[in-house]
Structure 1
């Protein structure tokens, strides 16, 4: 644990929505790198689904991530979290480690990645709302107006790209949205009391026994055809998105606050759409630059309003 983490007073933990102004630039950069890592999650999941079933993808990514996390904890001789941390760790595990990956993977069996981007388009707003309810934070009307506007732009763009018709897959996506918002917020709070990578590592290790049993069943029940895309996609969602991405994301939230960091995710759907074109061959309409500009304006307004 760093000197900064160990020196954080209890009152700062209780109001984690207030950013640490001594490192806003570093915190913003870390959160932005986390968003960049997450933007590849849906395309990588689509690759993995080319040769594996949804339950196999979800459980195998958890096993790989859990083994990596366990090795990191052992190498660092990290002590077990305090008893007061375990309830929040369970929320993080259920939201970001199990719930979101499983629900979005089930949706991506038939949904395009551009349609699934609706989830991450609305995630900043739900994360900020959850954090405000959880911590009692109060934000200005300008902050909320810009957040709602940005979410509306991204959601409308993604829905227009996919035809705008709600489907069964949308139920998976909206459920994933809710559980992930809770996981992000609790993870951001925990990252003020322990290093962000330890938050990620402990929740992965916590899920490892159940994930191993689930992987054994899924691999025997679902067809498996390993290709270069399948292996690359699985490795990315297990290591890049799930371990490294969450590590730097939680650390960024700990520095600049949950609400402000969550607004950076407004750019994530558009990044995902770009990766969908590059990696999956999906078409990007001329409306993308206009939506990107509108989203960047909303991000700027929320960042200024949060200050």
Structure 2
């Protein structure tokens, strides 16, 4: 076999962008249940910030092992700062506090189900694309479905957990879009690594203080949950996710997020024993349909 024949085989077995993105979604789908487990032994703030420290140490080791610089080019610090604010701080803090204030993982899964549409909106704004009118109609319908669902859950009013989940939704959308954009020219693992390293001067001292002043009860399930959100949710999951967005396009590969709310519901039932009625499932399916329309009508 010649060199060119070998290269052809490699190209044929390479995963498409959507398949890579789905691997990332599969990893992220366990984040909410794992966070709930971690908070059984650790403070919500410690879980949210401490996970980034563990992932940051892994990122430093990977960058050193491959002789890559620890910091990205200075002219890209703004973009990496947005990634850090979105997925290193924003999503973990907002989603963790929402769960700590009483939101079930099933409820959180439905609200965060609008993440694909939010990511698409950010991609539109960032890339300057002009979607069709149907895109905005479907986005509005999805937002109304989520609004109706949350109102039925809280006797006609939004609660703090819902507002926090919206913050998590927006944060993730910004971090996903910016990371996917940078991954077009930089490997996805390096993008998330740089974002984590840039965050270490903030995450390390905060984590040390939280570890000293908050109660810690390291049961097996709490440690396992903490390890999952630190290693998989905060680092490994982003490797195929950003690679998929870069390879398949943020809009096209982002469609794989459609299955995340349903996967979250499955994990919530299987791991936490949560029970949810037809209203929760119906809301999740309604969001799935609306987001599917936004993806097809995006350009």
**TM-score computed with the length of structure 2 as normaliser:** 0.85
Report the counterpart of residue 192 of structure 2 in structure 1: 200
Report the counterpart of residue 264 of structure 2 in structure 1: 272
Cα drift, residue 125 of structure 1: 1.9
Question: What SS does the corresponding residue of 1:77 show, helix, strand or coil?
Answer: coil
Post-superposition CA distance 1:180-210 (Å, at most 9, x none): 2221111111111100110111111111232
Q: Which runs of 5+ in 2 are unaligned?
A: 1-11
Taking a change above 3 Å as real, the CA distance of residues 283 and 163 of structure 1, as seen in their structure-2 partners, is farther
Report the counterpart of residue 109 of structure 2 in structure 1: 117
Report the counterpart of residue 31 of structure 1 in structure 2: 21
Provide the C-alpha distance between the structure 1 equivalents of 2:150 and 2:162, rounded to a whole number of angstroms: 12
8 Å contact from structure 2 (residues 106, 276) kept in 1: no
Question: What SS does the corresponding residue of 2:100 show, helix, strand or coil?
Answer: coil
8 Å contact from structure 2 (residues 131, 298) kept in 1: yes
Q: Does 1:92 align with 2:80?
A: no
Taking a change above 3 Å as real, the CA distance of residues 261 and 160 of structure 1, as seen in their structure-2 partners, is farther
Cα drift, residue 115 of structure 1: 2.0
Alignment of 1:165-244 (within 5 A): 165-244=157-236
Q: Which runs of 5+ in 1 are unaligned?
A: 1-21
**TM-score computed with the length of structure 1 as normaliser:** 0.83
Provide the C-alpha distance between the structure 2 equivalents of 1:296 and 1:182, rounded to a whole number of angstroms: 20
Taking a change above 3 Å as real, the CA distance of residues 128 and 84 of structure 1, as seen in their structure-2 partners, is same
Alignment of 1:41-120 (within 5 A): 41-79=31-69, 80-110=71-101, 111-120=103-112
8 Å contact from structure 1 (residues 119, 176) kept in 2: no
Provide the C-alpha distance between the structure 1 equivalents of 2:146 and 2:19, rounded to a whole number of angstroms: 22
Report the counterpart of residue 7 of structure 2 in structure 1: none
Cα drift, residue 114 of structure 1: 1.6
Query: How many residues are treated as equivalent by the alignment?
Result: 286
Question: What SS does the corresponding residue of 1:139 show, helix, strand or coil?
Answer: coil
8 Å contact from structure 2 (residues 107, 280) kept in 1: no
Taking a change above 3 Å as real, the CA distance of residues 280 and 299 of structure 1, as seen in their structure-2 partners, is same
